[in-house]
Amino acid sequence: MSKPAPLSGFPEFLPAQRVVEQHVIATLATTFELHGFASVETRAVEPLDQLLRKGETSKEVYVLRRLQEAEGGKDSGIGLHFDLTVPFARYVLEHAGKLEFPFRRYQIQKVWRGERPQEGRFREFLQADIDIVGRDELPFHHDVEVTRVMLDALGRLANPGSIGLPGFRLQVNNRKLIQGFYLGIGASDVDEVMRLVDKLDKLSPEQVAGQLVAEAGLTSAQAEQCLALAAIRAADDSFVAQVRALGVEHPLLDEGLDELAQLLRGTAGLSTDQVRIEADLSIARGLDYYTGTVFETRLDGFESLGSICSGGRYDALASDGRTTYPGVGISLGVSRVLVPLIHRGLVTADRSVPSAVLVAVSDEESRGASDAVATALRARGIPCEVAPSAAKFGKQIRHADRRGIPYVWFSTTDADGVIQHEVKDIRSGNQVPAEPATWEPPAEDLRPTIRVSTDPTNETETDQ
C-alpha cells in the first residue's frame, strides 16, 4: 500500500499535540461544570428536514447513506450535524419530559461542515457549546450568565499556566436593537438589511452601502444611518447614548438597547488585559434562529480566523406546537483555535506519552520483575511503561529521552540476592535510591506539561 495522502479539512494531531487538545477539553469541561452545566452528547446524524430548516446551510450539510443503498432506502434523508445547536434543540424536544428547566448543558463534540478548507475552517472539527433552555420563557439574566461562563473558560485557557491563549475580544450585540433600528428608519426588508450589514467584516462600508441601496431598496440616507449604527463600539453602556444620538425611534430598538446595556453592566469587572468584552453594533450573525443577544469573538493576532466563539439567544428554535423552549448559548470552535496555534508550533506538550517513568529491563529473564515495579507505581497513580527490549541501559535511556519520559527506573540484584532500586532523572543525570511503594515524582512531572512558545517559526506537521 502506498503512503496515503492527507485529506484536506480533517485535522489530525500527533500525540504531543493531542495532549494539548485533551487539556483544553478538560479545562472547558471543568469550568462548565463549576457553573452547574451538565454534559450531554447527541448522535452524529439528524434528519435532513431538521438540518435544513434554519439558516443558509444546505450547501454545507454532508448527506449520509450506505454505499449499496437503493434510492429511498431506510437510511436516506439523514445527514451529519453541522453545529450542536440544531441537534440540541431536537434533544430538548425528545427528552423534555425527563429534563428539569431551565436546563443547563455543555457539549464538546465533533461536527461536520462541507465548506472550503482554509486556516481555521475545516470539514470536521471540535466544538464546545453551552446553552441554557427554559420552558415557555427564559429570563434575560441567563444571557448575562452564559457570557460570564464563556469569559471564565476563555480566561482560564489564556492563563500562562494553561495553553497561553492570546488575548481575545468578545463582541456582543442584540438583534432586537438592530432590527428595531432598521424598522425605525423605514426599511422594508429588515432581514435583507441585516444580511448585508453582516458583510462588513468582508466588504468595505462603501460596498455595503451600495448593496443596501441596490438589493435592500434603501435610500442613500438610510444606508448611511445603517453604517453609522454599525460603526458604534463601546466597552460599557455608553453605546446607548451614541445610538440615541442617531435620532431613530422604535419600541423594539428600546428593548434591544435595554437588554444589551444589562449585559454590559452584568459583565463589568470581568475584562482584563487578555479578556475584553465590548458592544459591537455591526454584529448580526448569519443564522436566522437568533432573536436577541448575539456573540462573536476574535483572537488577538489571529483576526484572519474570523469569529472563534459565537452564539446568541434563540426564542423559537425548539417547539412541539404546544410548548416553546427558548434558549441562549455560545459555542467555542476548539479546532479553529487550536489547529493554527499548533501548526505554528506555538503550543505543544513536553512529551508525547503520558508515562513519567520508563522501567528498564536488565535482561528478558527479569522482565517480570520490571513489570512488578511498573504495577506498583501504577497502583499509586504514576503513569509508566516497561522498556520494549533489554538493550544496553544507554539505549534504553535514549528511548525514554526521545519520548520525553523524564525518569528511568533501574533494578539490580546485589551479591546477597537483594534487589536494589534506583531512579534516574535523565534531564539532570541525578540518580538516587528509590522504592516502588513510596517513590513519587514531583507533581509537575506526573503528567505532560503544556509548552507555550512565542516563536512562530517552529511549524509542525498538522493536516488541515
CA angle 57, 59, 65 (to 5 degrees): 105
Q: How far apart are CA 354 and CA 381, in angstroms?
A: 11
Q: How far apart are CA 348 and CA 17, in angstroms?
A: 5
pLDDT tens, residue by residue, 268-306: 888 888 889 999 999 987 667 789 999 999 998 888 888
Axis-axis angle for helices 334-343, 15-34 (nearest 10): 150
The answer on pLDDT for 160 being more than 90 is no
pLDDT score of 461? 44
pTM of the predicted structure, to 2 decimals: 0.90
Q: Which overall architecture, per CATH, does domain 15-348 show?
A: 2-Layer Sandwich (3.30)
pLDDT score of 418? 82
pLDDT score of 70? 65
pLDDT score of 121? 83
pLDDT tens, residue by residue, 26-67: 999 999 999 999 999 999 999 988 888 655 556 788 988 887
Model confidence band, residue 460 (pLDDT cutoffs 50, 70, 90): very low
As a 3-state breakdown, the chain gives helix, strand, coil percent values, each rounded to 5, of 35, 20, 40
- Going from N- to C-terminal start, the domains of the chain cover 15-348, 357-447
pLDDT score of 71? 67
**Residue that the C-alpha cell 437568533 belongs to:** 290
> Are the C-beta atoms of 290 and 183 separated by less than 8 Å?
no
Q: Which CATH class is domain 357-447?
A: alpha beta
Backbone angles phi, psi at 105, to 5 degrees: -135, 150
Model confidence band, residue 456 (pLDDT cutoffs 50, 70, 90): low
* 103-112 vs 124-133, strand pairing mode: antiparallel
pLDDT tens, residue by residue, 130-159: 999 999 999 999 999 999 999 999 999 988
The answer on pLDDT for 263 being more than 90 is yes
